[in-house]
Structure 1
Amino acid sequence: TPRGRISERRRRSLNKARKNQIGLSGDMALLGEFWQVLTENLARKHGTGPVHSLSEITMLAERFPDQIQIVCGTHQDQVVAGVLLFITATCIHTQYIAANDIGYQFSALDAVFDFCITKAVSDGKRWLDFGICNEQAGKVLNEGLYKFKTEFGGGGTVHEFFEIPLTGEENVD
């Protein structure tokens, strides 16, 4: 599916990232530094931490180097933003996304996402999956997050989930 129109706000943010010399790197050696940014971001914003520990995600990335990759935005050789990518034959899925205060100030995530979108297209992927935009187990749309993600030229998809008991017992909620 061709990329939709990028919002004017995202264009300005990309220019801001370029003006502030946000670098981009896919070096897995930056995983620890990114994980620190991610951990601090999740603690500050949501009072939680990443589902995986750094040692778990490092092990997974070592075992699946073609399927788990990183893209970091850097400023003065420091990671200020980044995303961990899970890659399949048809899709690049953004699993962990974070920025620190400098990253937000310089719109580093905009540069990271633009790179990821370009990568998905050049790698012949059908989709770049930004991940969910909902809360409360999918019952509430986080409208601000959805707007941010769609401003890069994408759209949303609703997934329906069905529960089928396999044990012969009925479990109706």
Structure 2
Amino acid sequence: MHALACIQPYILNNDHNKHTPMYFDIEFYTEDHRAEWDRFIRRSLQGNLFNQQRFFDYHSEGRFQHRHLIFRRRGHIVAAWPGAFRDEDGLKSWTSHPGASYGGLLIREDVSLIHVHRLVHDLISVAKDEGIERLRCTPPPIFYHSRIGDTVEFTMRRAGFTYLKQDYTQAIDLRDLPLAERLLIAKYDNKTRTAIRKAVREGVTIKHNIPLKGETLDVFYDILSKNRARIGTTPTHTRDEIESLAELAPKQLEASMAYYNGEAIACILNFVCNEKVMLEFYIAHDHKAQNLRPSPLLVHDSILHAHERGFHWYDFGISTEPEDKVTWGLAAFKENFSMTGFFRNTMILDNVQTWQAPANYMPDTPKVEVDVR
């Protein structure tokens, strides 16, 4: 007998009239779950700042139809799906999460392969009951995991998810770097070493932990927005959104600015995503001060401080654009700091309403015997 036939019906909510076979006790997130949710995110395999409720709070009220899902086993949270309902390409999509860099099915570290298969099954079943036509998620790159592994992505692929896009992100493994600054700089490309030394020689200085509010934030955002305008884009966040984020997560946003003769000429904003990863979210410089080379100095300073504080990775973000375009110059700049490339995948399942577990998706018996070969 196939293992799927052994599970018992479960009603998702009191107002839910559908009886869908489920492996786990499942409920939608409410404000009563806030502390428990954030505690689970901090302890989960892939959890990060972008999955915490304080991060979702910075979005204006009504911008997203949040529908976060909680999976329990014996009363304890074993997995979560941070998401929102929205229309996408004419389909009712449950996206994880449209207002965050990363989402996906977040699991407890000790969840086994067979239980991940059951979690994905239950996720799709709930989506089907909710009238969802598409599931979409962008999991964090593998180096965000507390333990490196591809179990969730492997299972989603087996369930029928496909890659909507595969972005290219770059990060530096801080554990491989020497602590001494002179030895750290020696790991960089020769042009980058020269640029850093030039900035220091010219008298460029750096101020850390600048307040992301008031006039200081005005200066920061002016540099950032003008820098982005030169390449025909705008910052992901408005000035007020950055201020709101800094108020909601003050220990997880760290801004620094480079100064020359008392004037701010460049800025960087790092996110402390979890215990392992610091992410460079914004870096920008005043074009008139480009010859002073403040950006390489700011990046080096951030890498040095992340390394000293025990982070494992410094994430420099993606170097790709829509339609599979590579931002070649940006990728090359990052490579000068000995950064390594990784996938940042976005996955979708478009046949939710007609989905059936594929053949051989689950073992033939509910209890799997250990096979020592």
TM-score, length of structure 1 as denominator length: 0.89
The structural deviation recorded for 1:160 is: 2.7
Structure 1 runs of 4+ aligned residues shifted over 6 Å read none
Q: Distance in 2 between matches of 1:100 and 1:126?
A: 31
Instruction: Report what 1:9 is aligned to.
Output: 191
Structure 1 position 63 matched with structure 2 position 243: no
Contact 2:227 2:287 in 1 (8 A): no
C-alpha deviations, 1:89-128, integer Å up to 9, x for none? 1111111111012431100011100110001111111111
Instruction: Assess, with a 3 A threshold, how the Cα gap between structure 1 residues 169 and 86 changes in structure 2: closer, same or farther.
Output: farther
Q: Distance in 2 between matches of 1:96 and 1:148?
A: 14
SS in 1 for 2:268: strand
Match of 2:316 among 102, 114, 130: 130
The structural deviation recorded for 1:169 is: 5.8
Structure 1 position 106 matched with structure 2 position 289: no
RMSD, aligned α-carbons: 1.9
The structural deviation recorded for 1:60 is: 0.9
SS in 2 for 1:168: helix
Number of equivalenced pairs: 168
Instruction: Report what 1:151 is aligned to.
Output: 336
Specify the structure having the higher radius of gyration (Cα). 2
Instruction: Report what 2:211 is aligned to.
Output: 28
Higher strand share: 2
Unaligned runs of 5+ in 1: none
Q: Distance in 1 between matches of 2:351 and 2:245?
A: 30
Contact 1:31 1:70 in 2 (8 A): no
Q: Is 3-12 or 106-115 further displaced after alignment?
A: 3-12
Contact 2:266 2:295 in 1 (8 A): yes
Unaligned runs of 5+ in 2: 1-172, 178-183, 356-373
SS in 2 for 1:60: helix
For 2:211, give the aligned amino acid. M
Identity of aligned residues (%): 24
**Correspondence list, 1:36-51, <5 A:** 36-46=222-232, 48-51=233-236
Instruction: Report what 2:282 is aligned to.
Output: 96
Structure 1 position 118 matched with structure 2 position 308: no
Match of 2:270 among 76, 85, 91: 85
Q: Distance in 1 between matches of 2:325 and 2:198?
A: 32
